[in-house]
Chain A
Amino acid sequence: MKKLLALMIVLVLALSLAACGKKEEDGTPEPEAKILRIAESFAYASLDAHKDYHGWYTSIYGMTETLFKIGNDLSVQPLLATKAETSEDGLTWTITLDPKAKFSNGKAVTADMVIRNLQRVGEVNDSYHDVSAYVFTKIDDTTFTITTDSVYPTLLTDKLASSAFGIMDLDSGDLDNAPVCTGPFKAKSFEPEGTVEVEKNENYWNGTVKLDGVVFEYMSNDESKLMAMQSGEIDGYSSVTAAAKQIYEADSSRYKLTVIPATRLQFYVLNKNTLSDNVRKAINLTVDCQDIADYLGGTTSPAVGPFGASAPYGQVTKPAVDTAAAEAALQADGYTKNSDGMYEKNGKPLTIKVCYYSARSLDTIATILERQFKAVGIGVELVGTEDADSTYRVTGDYDLALYCMIADKSGDPYYCINALYRKNGDWALAGFANDECEALIDELKGETDINRRAELANQIVQMTIDDNAFGYIGLFNKTTVSAPSVVNIGENSPFDFYAVNADTDK
């Protein structure tokens, strides 16, 4: 009886095991979907690429594509369009679309649809209202012209390659939550200001998409991203902090770290209305950018001007740090050192008001500047705010204003120069107004020769350095971390708005 029972148990177990293996006998198990998980610091309430800065993110998500793109070497490259030609007078551009280009719903990308997209950006995006004045003319299904009212040599980089000009099918889908676009991925689920999931675009026109999908986790906190990376919850992210970078560097078998020069500039504006020429000169001779870069742990590189030194329009010079010369400049202005070792004039100590906001390491820089200035006898009042754009940038209430911006969005210097140095520019409140500079900026705007553009840009930036109107501290490197097997998540592009593409894999 016992033997019979034992036999039955063995039979039952054998059958159970057989049942477990049944699926494998019938066919191979279904392969697990290849999903990449990326952390992003920001998330928006809409996927409509044309509004605000949403296009930046729909480009990161691999959903939208533009007519042209900026390559890793900052060159303009074709994407949805194959070529752009200018007329002899430089006012009319003829754009030819790639006939293969199509939306994820299978519809072809036509000249009509592209014109409607470009016109819509001019209507709904405050930063691109000037597009409304352009004249668009359809030639045929894949060719159209854009006529501007003045020569605009950077139309491709400023506009057509800008992520805000991502092309969408305006007649299909829900533009805010699930727009139909041309990129390698299409929206799967969208949580406003939260997690965004995209899935493979089976109809992708420009190659085979290697991943099945990507999940973009919204994580604004740097420590959360570090811990999520360490636990394996995410596969990668960019804008790695100095602290996290050290941790990843210590374990290269688990993490792949890519650091490349990028274009986000840390700088300060010196208020000409409140600081004399000699005090501004003393400040610029005191600030040690290399020392600041050392404290920031390799996340930035010291800057000479607003553009990288490798760019043809980044060829400027500035005086080396010289604290003795800085003190001499102060003394020439009538300042004398008091018993505390600080400079004063007429019994009033020299104290400069340094305004900063707590992002992009500007708070750390403010602390370092305070020590550097104190070492030469300049007192500092540090004023931290949450947001510069609604405080000191619009009130002008500062002696030294720290700020961070992308100086080079498209491989051309005009955007930054136009924003910073114009008489009516963003920082005009600081008193920098130079007629010669203004004339050069006007010339730069219409100049079509690349070499001359670089020459003009170098002259303009050198003027701001010689005038001690600005101080250029550092250019952020783009630091991306990922699991070792992950490739093509935009780690080699200096721009933040390029991330996943058809070749992204894990």
Chain B
Amino acid sequence: MDILVDKSPRKGAKTRLTLFLILAGILVVLSVIAPKLAPNDPYEISSANINAAPSAQYPMGTDRLGRCVFSRVLMGARTSIFSAVALVAITFVIGSLLGMASGWYGGIVDTLIMRFADILLAFPQMVLAIAVAGILGGGMFNAMLAMGITGWTIYARLARAQVLALKREAFVDAARLSGCSSLAIMFRTLLPNMLGPMIVNASIQIGSMMVGIAGLSFLGIGINEPQAEWGSMINNSRAYIQLAPWAVLGPAIATIITVMIFNYLGDCVRDVMDVEAGE
């Protein structure tokens, strides 16, 4: 009986994780093969098809320039998902490295890195991102830079806390006594032991980053036309919401579903880790 009670939460968490991994995988695959799946050229404009209602030729209708909304949503998946995943990966690596250095070396290194992080955290993330993107101008790189400026601080603080907790452990002392260098201890001994909570955090961040980049594009300071991106698609079609609601609803629903899947995926990763930690 005890065995059953112990095993079911773990099994449930793993099942959910598998389900959302599959869904996230489908989204990633869809975005990779988007150019093959798109029924029309997502960038082809047509004055004869402005704001056309959904039909067999245009499954989600067309926008104000007669472009196929469905094809643009598919192409937008590539932009939105990959920019969010890439941004999380980059901020994860940079934040983790800085946090580990801060926790391991302490002293002036710790003070400099953490106070800098505190300064950045003093501003609401989106407000700072809007300011940075506004100064740098439009484009995917600038939008990612704007979001990434504060994104790394979460990982840095977490990595620092983990290193501070782990560096007093006996196995770290043993590594140090065996003559390992600081770098070797950090990457071979500490990193594998702190990766779990870091990954949980990173997986939860994907959804937030996606909304952040779409938000900047919606405000006109992120990814600009004609590139297909969900936030800018919503922004550029919102004036026509009473005439062609499909041009707004298509990218909006795609954003909601994708963000929900990645958020649930992050929750499931956390649940599985929690259960394993409990065991």
B220 within 8 A of A: yes
CA separation between A366 and B240, bound complex, in Å? 19
Nearest CB in chain A: distance from B49 CB, A:
11
Q: Are B243 and A386 in contact (CB under 8 A)?
A: no
B9 within 8 A of A: no
Set B47, B50, B225, B242: member contacting A363, Cβ < 8 A: B225
A446 within 8 A of B: no
Set B45, B134, B220, B224: member contacting A382, Cβ < 8 A: B224
Given A367-B45, A371-B45, A386-B134, do A295 and B50 touch, yes or no (CB 8 Å)? Answer: yes
The interface residues of chain A lying within 8 Å CB-to-CB of B54 are none
Interface bits A371-386 vs B (CB < 8 Å: 1, else 0): 1000000000011111
A368 within 8 A of B: yes
Q: Are B239 and A241 in contact (CB under 8 A)?
A: yes
CA separation between A477 and B186, bound complex, in Å? 67
Given A294-B47, A382-B226, do A358 and B220 touch, yes or no (CB 8 Å)? Answer: yes
Q: Are A295 and B138 in contact (CB under 8 A)?
A: no
Identity of the chain A residue whose Cβ is nearest the Cβ of B227 in the assembled complex: A382
CA separation between A244 and B226, bound complex, in Å? 22
Q: Are A371 and B43 in contact (CB under 8 A)?
A: yes
CA separation between A384 and B226, bound complex, in Å? 11
A85 within 8 A of B: no
The interface residues of chain A lying within 8 Å CB-to-CB of B240 are 243
Q: Are B239 and A247 in contact (CB under 8 A)?
A: no
Set A223, A358, A382: member contacting B238, Cβ < 8 A: A223
The interface residues of chain A lying within 8 Å CB-to-CB of B238 are 223
The interface residues of chain B lying within 8 Å CB-to-CB of A368 are 45, 65
The interface residues of chain A lying within 8 Å CB-to-CB of B221 are 386
CA separation between A368 and B50, bound complex, in Å? 13
The interface residues of chain B lying within 8 Å CB-to-CB of A291 are 47
Q: Are A367 and B239 in contact (CB under 8 A)?
A: no
Q: Are B65 and A246 in contact (CB under 8 A)?
A: no
Q: Are A384 and B243 in contact (CB under 8 A)?
A: no
A370 within 8 A of B: yes
Q: Are A367 and B138 in contact (CB under 8 A)?
A: no
Q: Are A247 and B47 in contact (CB under 8 A)?
A: no
CA separation between A487 and B240, bound complex, in Å? 28
Q: Are B64 and A243 in contact (CB under 8 A)?
A: yes
Q: Are A246 and B239 in contact (CB under 8 A)?
A: no
Tell which of A222, A241, A243, A366 has the most Cβ of chain B within 10 Å.
A243
Tell which of B65, B226, B241 has the most Cβ of chain A within 10 Å.
B226
Set A223, A297, A364, A384: member contacting B137, Cβ < 8 A: A384
Q: Are B43 and A222 in contact (CB under 8 A)?
A: no
Those of B38-88 within 8 Å (CB) of chain A: 43-45, 47, 50, 64-65
Q: Are B243 and A246 in contact (CB under 8 A)?
A: yes
The interface residues of chain A lying within 8 Å CB-to-CB of B239 are 222-223, 241, 243-244
Those of B216-234 within 8 Å (CB) of chain A: 220-221, 224-226
CA separation between A242 and B50, bound complex, in Å? 12
CA separation between A370 and B243, bound complex, in Å? 25
Identity of the chain B residue whose Cβ is nearest the Cβ of A386 in the assembled complex: B134
Given A291-B47, A364-B65, A384-B137, do A370 and B242 touch, yes or no (CB 8 Å)? Answer: no
Number of contact residues on B: which range applies?
Answer: 20 to 34
CA separation between A258 and B109, bound complex, in Å? 68
Nearest CB in chain A: distance from B133 CB, A:
10
Q: Are A370 and B47 in contact (CB under 8 A)?
A: no
Chain B: interface secondary structure?
loop
The interface residues of chain A lying within 8 Å CB-to-CB of B138 are 384-385
Nearest CB in chain A: distance from B270 CB, A:
39
Q: Are A367 and B226 in contact (CB under 8 A)?
A: yes
CA separation between A269 and B134, bound complex, in Å? 25
CA separation between A295 and B62, bound complex, in Å? 13
CA separation between A242 and B241, bound complex, in Å? 13
Nearest CB in chain B: distance from A106 CB, A:
47
Tell which of B134, B225, B238 has the most Cβ of chain A within 10 Å.
B225
Set B44, B45, B224: member contacting A384, Cβ < 8 A: B224
Nearest CB in chain B: distance from A41 CB, A:
14
CA separation between A291 and B225, bound complex, in Å? 19
Nearest CB in chain B: distance from A367 CB, A:
5
The interface residues of chain B lying within 8 Å CB-to-CB of A223 are 238-239, 241
CA separation between A247 and B44, bound complex, in Å? 26
Nearest CB in chain B: distance from A325 CB, A:
22
Set B134, B225, B241, B243: member contacting A367, Cβ < 8 A: B225
Interface bits A414-435 vs B (CB < 8 Å: 1, else 0): 0000000000000000000000
Q: Are A367 and B137 in contact (CB under 8 A)?
A: no
Given A243-B239, A367-B226, A382-B224, do A295 and B137 touch, yes or no (CB 8 Å)? Answer: no
The interface residues of chain B lying within 8 Å CB-to-CB of A294 are 47
The interface residues of chain B lying within 8 Å CB-to-CB of A366 are 225
Given A246-B243, A247-B242, do A295 and B134 touch, yes or no (CB 8 Å)? Answer: no
CA separation between A246 and B240, bound complex, in Å? 10
Q: Are A295 and B44 in contact (CB under 8 A)?
A: no
CA separation between A385 and B242, bound complex, in Å? 28
Q: Are A295 and B243 in contact (CB under 8 A)?
A: no
CA separation between A371 and B46, bound complex, in Å? 10
Identity of the chain A residue whose Cβ is nearest the Cβ of B244 in the assembled complex: A243
Q: Are A295 and B47 in contact (CB under 8 A)?
A: yes
The interface residues of chain A lying within 8 Å CB-to-CB of B44 are 371
Q: Are B65 and A367 in contact (CB under 8 A)?
A: yes
Q: Are A370 and B226 in contact (CB under 8 A)?
A: yes
Given contact pairs A291-B47, A363-B224, a sample of 7 additional A-B residue pairs in the complex whose CB atoms are under 8 Å apart: A223-B239, A226-B242, A295-B64, A297-B50, A370-B226, A371-B226, A384-B225
- 30 residue pairs of the A-B complex, CB under 8 angstroms, read A223-B238, A223-B241, A226-B242, A243-B239, A243-B242, A246-B243, A247-B242, A247-B243, A291-B47, A295-B45, A295-B50, A295-B65, A297-B50, A363-B224, A364-B64, A364-B65, A366-B225, A367-B225, A368-B45, A371-B43, A371-B45, A371-B226, A382-B226, A383-B137, A384-B137, A384-B138, A384-B225, A385-B137, A386-B134, A386-B221
Nearest 7 Cβ contacts at the A-B interface: A243-B239, A294-B47, A367-B226, A243-B240, A384-B224, A384-B138, A371-B45
